[in-house]
């Protein structure tokens, strides 16, 4: 994999975004070198606006000077292009479909809770019960497996573990413990974090909480949007 020329890989991202953490993990697991360009979402770069003119959001993977947008699509693209290096999606079509189903569930249901808390649409205590209920559904789907990918980390593990660091930030604002509420899921997350490609790609929960406090200050602890 060349690091320049037509095969250069660039990732437009931000440190705090769970969605940007996903391609970081995937590229690291596959050993693909890339250039990280951190975006200031309050002052979006001309490159971001050019590469993602529709949504104007990160992450954006630029490969062969062509952009790929939306984190789940980026994960699948990375897996298809570098398919011989640490496969992420199952080879079985049904298992692939199931992985996509649960990824969609996570991005709709878990983000709904975290987003409502982050943008102060609801208080943490009002979100906690709903969040735990959804996490228990995901814990049930894990079953007795070590990972959602089976015996090794896969596509769905990357999708969900990107939220784990945000769940730890949420703990600091709520009477909530991931380990107490969903112990099996907590053990799964700890196994994921033993992988250096995962642990080094995720944001520090303390820094995420600091970001959250700063965001609330800017928003006056009311509503708003930051995308």
The predicted pLDDT at position 112 comes to 95
The predicted pLDDT at position 227 comes to 32
Q: What gap in Å lies between CA 36 and CA 226, rounded to an integer?
A: 21
* Higher pLDDT pick, 35 / 5: 35
The predicted pLDDT at position 2 comes to 39
The predicted pLDDT at position 6 comes to 62
- pLDDT single digits (tens) 30-89: 999 999 999 999 999 999 999 999 999 999 999 999 999 999 999 999 999 999 999 999
Q: What gap in Å lies between CA 146 and CA 56, rounded to an integer?
A: 37
Domain 5-81 has CATH 3.40.30.10: yes
Question: How high is the mean pLDDT of the chain?
Answer: 92
The answer, as to whether pTM is greater than 0.75, is: yes
Q: What gap in Å lies between CA 147 and CA 155, rounded to an integer?
A: 10
Q: What gap in Å lies between CA 220 and CA 201, rounded to an integer?
A: 30
- pLDDT single digits (tens) 89-99: 999 999 999 99
- pLDDT single digits (tens) 189-205: 999 999 999 999 999 99
Residues in contact with 124: Cβ distance below 8 Å, sequence separation at least 6, in sequence order: 117, 170, 173, 174, 176
* Higher pLDDT pick, 20 / 126: 20
Q: What gap in Å lies between CA 214 and CA 226, rounded to an integer?
A: 12
Q: What gap in Å lies between CA 190 and CA 50, rounded to an integer?
A: 38
Q: Do 105 and 112 meet the contact criterion of CB atoms below 8 Å apart?
A: no
Please state whether beta strands 35-38 and 9-13 pair in parallel, antiparallel, or not at all (unpaired).
parallel
Domain 93-219 has CATH 3.40.1190.20: no
Position 224 pLDDT exceeds 60? no
The predicted pLDDT at position 168 comes to 92
Q: Do 205 and 169 meet the contact criterion of CB atoms below 8 Å apart?
A: yes
Per domain, the residue ranges of the chain are 5-81, 93-219
- Provide the sign of the torsion angle of the four alpha carbons 174, 176, 179, 184, taken in this order: negative
């Amino acid at each position: 994999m060349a690091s320049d020329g037509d095969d250069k890989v660039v990732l437009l991202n931000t440190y705090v975004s769970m969605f940007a953490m996903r391609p970081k993990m995937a590229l690291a697991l596959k050993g693909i070198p890339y250039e990280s360009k951190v975006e200031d979402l309050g002052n979006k770069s001309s490159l971001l606006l050019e590469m993602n003119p529709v949504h104007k959001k990160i992450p954006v993977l630029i490969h062969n000077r062509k952009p790929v947008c939306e984190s789940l699509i980026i994960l699948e693209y990375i897996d298809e292009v570098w398919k011989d290096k640490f496969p992420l999606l199952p080879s079985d079509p049904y298992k692939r479909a199931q992985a996509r189903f649960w990824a969609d569930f996570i991005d709709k249901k878990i983000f709904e809770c975290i987003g409502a808390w982050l943008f102060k649409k609801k208080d943490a205590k009002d979100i906690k019960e709903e969040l735990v209920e959804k996490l228990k559904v995901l814990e049930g789907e894990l079953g007795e497996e070590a990972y959602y990918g089976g015996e090794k980390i896969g596509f769905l593990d990357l999708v969900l573990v990107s939220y784990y660091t945000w769940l730890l930030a949420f703990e600091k604002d709520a009477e909530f413990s991931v380990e107490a509420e969903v112990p099996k899921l907590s053990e799964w997350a700890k196994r994921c974090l033993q992988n250096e490609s995962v642990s080094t790609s995720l944001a520090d929960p303390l820094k995420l909480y600091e970001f959250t406090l700063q965001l609330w200050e800017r928003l006056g602890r009311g509503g708003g949007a930051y995308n």
